[in-house]
Amino acid sequence: MVENPLYICSIVFGYAYFVLKCGPKFMEKREPYSLKNFIFYYNIFQIVSNSIIVYVMYTAGWTTEFTLGCEPLRTSTRPIDMRLLNVVHWTYMLKTIDLIETMVFVLRKKNNQISFLHVYHHISTVLVTYICTKYYPGGMLSMQMIINGSVHVIMYTYYLLASLGQSTQGFLNPIKPYITRIQIIQFLFLLWHQSQAFLPSCPIPKWIPFMVIGNLLLNLLLFLNFYKKSYSKRSKLK
C-alpha cells in the first residue's frame, strides 16, 4: 500500500465521497444505526493499537539514541532501526483505519460532527503519514507519531468512557475541553520540534518540514477556532 500511491488516493477519494455525498444520501430516509457495540470495541482497539505503537516506537531509539534535536533518517539494517521502520508502517496502516470513525458518524447521522476540521484532519493525517512512510520513515519525524499516538490513547479512552452512557457524562463533561487543549498543545510542541529540521546543520530534505509544518499550522488554526467557538462562548455564558 506504500509503493503505489494509487491505493492511498483511492482510499482517500472513497472516504471523501462516502462521508460527504454517498453516505448522507444513503442515510437520508433511514433511521440512524446504533452501532453501540462496534463503537465500544473500536475504541478499545484504538487504545490498544496506539499504546503498542507508542511503546514500540519509543523503545526503538528514543530512549537510547535519539534526542529532541535534529535526527536524520537512519538507513542501516540494525534491528533497532528496522523496528522503527516497521512501526512507522504500522502507524500508516492505523491512520487509514482511523477513517472508519467518520463513516460511523454518517451511519449514526451525526452530521454535525462531520465538519471541515474533522474531514481535513483525517485526510491530511493519512496523506502526510503516507508521504513520511514512503520517503522518510523514521528520524525526527517519528516523534510526531509518538506524540499523536499518545494523544489518541487519551482521546479514545475518553470516547470509550463516553460510550458507556449517561452514567459517565457528569464526570466527563468538565474534562471535554481539556481533550481539545491537549490536541492544541500537541501541535505547538510538534511545530517547535519539527522546525529544527530547517537548521542548516540538519541534513533533512527541506520540503519535508515545509509539508509537515504547513499541515500542523493549519490543524492548529482549525482546532483553535473550534475551541473558541465551542468552549470560550460557553464560559462567557456561565
DSSP per residue, the chain? --S-HHHHHHHHHHHHHIIIIIHHHHHTTSPPP--HHHHHHHHHHHHHHHHHHHHHHIIIIITTT--SS--PPP----HHHHHHHHHHHHHHHHHHHTTHHHHHHHHTT-GGG--HHHHHHHHHHHHHHHHHHHH--STTHHHHHHHHHHHHHHHHHHHHHHTT-GGGHHHHTTTHHHHHHHHHHHHHHHHHHHHGGGSTT--S-THHHHHHHHHHHHHHHHHHHHHIIIIIHHHHH-
Annotated catalytic residue: which of 118, 121, 152, 193? 121
Judge whether 191 and 218 are in contact, CB under 8 Å.
no
Maximum alpha-carbon separation in the chain: 59
Check if 121 is active-site. yes
Catalytic positions are 121
